[in-house]
Amino acid sequence: VKHNGYFSQRLLDQGYKIDLQKVADFFSGEFLECETGKKDLREVLPKWIKQWDWHGNIDNLLKFWFEGESETDSNVVENIKSLRLTGIKCYLVTNNEKYRTEYLWNFVGLKNFLDGLYSSCYVGYLKHQEEFWEEIYKNFSPIPKQSILLWDDDLKNIEAARQFGINAEFYTTFENYEKVMKQKYVNNRI
């Protein structure tokens, strides 16, 4: 899923006079509890949106937020579809709170071309934590860890997956993805 700029930057672009530090405080604090399912985003947002100069309601804010981060990469989608045609299972593994997770799965339609999803809000841990991988691996065992491949755009998530024993690669561009897949995985089917 592509991002059309960070949420805070898009607010600034729309003319909101927000304090970027207050937005950063939210995303580095209480939002992490939403991402791990410990708090509900709709319950914590009211006190924050006043500080962000948001004039609409929570539903409008979530719509603005989620729609700005909902465009799929057609190359990646088509590649996933072709992998699935060969029998390879493909899953979304994400750090997200429950409303955005459901938005991506249902409204954006990730459910239409993926085999399932593992979101931090349901797992209870973030992807850079070993417990995250322990929890989701329970669904794949007895498949060897080395038979699983993760692509992620955050190096700390890749390091955590590798430490757990899962193959993990850093996603930068689709072209780089294709190159690495051909060099390391396509002919050596994981």
CA separation, residue 18 to residues 11, 22, 23, 30, 175 (Å): 8, 8, 8, 18, 36
CA separation, residue 46 to residues 7, 132, 142, 150, 162 (Å): 17, 29, 45, 36, 38
The residue ranking higher by pLDDT, 121 or 14, is: 121
pTM over 0.85: yes
- pLDDT tens track for 89-119: 999 999 999 999 999 999 999 999 999 999 9
Identify the band that residue 188 occupies on the pLDDT scale cut at 50, 70 and 90: low
